[in-house]
Amino acid sequence: MRRRLMWIVPVLALTLGAPGSAAAQTAPNGWNMAGAPAHSNFSQAEAMFAWDRTAQAYVDVTEQRGDIGSDAPDCPGYWAYFPAVTAVTLPAPSHSGDTHTCTLSAGWNLVGNPFSLVARLPEGLTAYYWSPPAQAYEVIDRIPVGGAAWVYETAPTTITITAL
């Protein structure tokens, strides 16, 4: 009988300090969908790409990775490549119940979580998250801390996401 060895990789782990202090999110090695509050530090990522929802194309933002994330109305998401399991510093923690309205374009939108907490998506919205451990997309109703999700819309619209 052959034994299988299973590796369990932490997808996301959040460490919160005292109120007003920074939080750290752990990203597994490889490509990760990323999103975060404004002024998050992804400087340990070897490469970062944003999705230009108007052009429906990737944009290299590797040079800006030391100060990434946003509270912008388009809720930008990113692809970040980490060569090893990495702690990413997020600004002061969000509060449960905080909301953020995201403006989406027709077509694919890479929606980043602008909170330092899990973000709940509107009911009925279909979103896709890349799971590094599974090496596959998963349909989700919540964007993990430090994560992002693909959302397809047939026309411009807005959605409101909520910090849990």
Counts for the chain of helices (H) and strands (E), in that order:
0, 15
Distance, in Å, from the CA atom of 132 to the CA atom of 61, rounded to the nearest integer, reads 21
pTM of the model: 0.79
Q: Is the pLDDT of residue 3 over 90?
A: no
Closest to 65 (Cα-Cα) out of 77, 48, 89: 48
Q: Tell me the pLDDT tens digit for each residue of 12-64.
A: 333 333 334 456 678 888 999 998 887 788 888 899 999 888 888 999 988 87
Q: Tell me the pLDDT tens digit for each residue of 81-116.
A: 999 998 887 776 788 899 999 999 999 999 999 988
Distance, in Å, from the CA atom of 10 to the CA atom of 16, rounded to the nearest integer, reads 17
CB 93, CB 109: distance < 8 Å = no
Please report the pLDDT score of residue 121 as a whole number.
97
